[in-house]
Amino acid sequence: MYHNDYTVLVKEYLTRYTEFKQYVANIEAEIEDYKEMLKLSAAPKVSDMSTAGGGGGSGDTSQERAYFRREDLEKRLEDSYHALLEMLPKVRKLERSLDAMKATNPVDYRIINARYIEGWSWEATASFAGASVTYCRNEARKALRRLTGAMFGEESIPMQTHLVFIDSNKNNENCG
C-alpha cells in the first residue's frame, strides 16, 4: 500500500465506524443466539416401530433432520466467529486510536468525530470544535495522518529510502 492508501482506508473506517460497531454487536448477538439454540436443541423423537407399511415422506428420519439442523447451526456459529474475528480487530484498533487522540488532543478528536464519523459539514464541525473552518480543515489532515500512523505504524509513514548526493564542485560533465 502507498501512504495515501492508508489515509484513505482510515477515512473509510471513520465514515463507517458506526456501521462497523453495529455489525460487531449484531455478530456477537448472533453468536449468543446460536449458542442458546444449540443448548436448546431437543433430542429427536424415536421413530415408531409399526408393522404397517408406510409411504411417502422426505426419506430422512427425525434423527437425521435433527442432526442436520444441529450441523447447520454449528456451521453458522463457526461462520459468525470468523466474521467477528475479521472485523473486531479493526474496530478495536480504531477505538483505541480514537481514545488516545481524545486523551491527548481533544480538539482533534472533536474535529475527526464531527467531520468523518458523524458526517457533519465543515461549518458544523468548526462550530462543534470551537475553531475556524480553515483551522479545522488543516488540523483534520494532520489528525488523519497521526491517526493513520497510530493504526498502521511505520509502514504508513512515507520515508525516503535513497539519498542522492550531488557534488556541486564537479563540473556538469554529464549534463546535456
pTM, full prediction: 0.70
Quickly count helices (H) and strands (E) in the chain.
6, 0
| Sign of the four-CA dihedral 129, 131, 136, 138 | negative
Residue 155: DSSP 8-state: G
Note the pLDDT tens digit of each residue in 109-144.
Answer: 999 999 999 999 999 999 999 999 999 999 999 999
The answer to whether residues 147 and 156 touch, using CB atoms and an 8 Å cutoff, is no
* The pLDDT value given to residue 64: 81
Which residues have a Cβ under 8 Å from the Cβ of 83 and sit 6 or more positions away?
A: 27
Which residues have a Cβ under 8 Å from the Cβ of 69 and sit 6 or more positions away?
A: 41
* The pLDDT value given to residue 63: 79
Positions of the chain with pLDDT lower than 70, given as ranges: 1-3, 41-58, 155-176
* The pLDDT value given to residue 56: 56
Grid coordinates of 132? 475556524
Dist. CA 168–CA 143, nearest whole Å: 39
The answer to whether residues 131 and 123 touch, using CB atoms and an 8 Å cutoff, is no
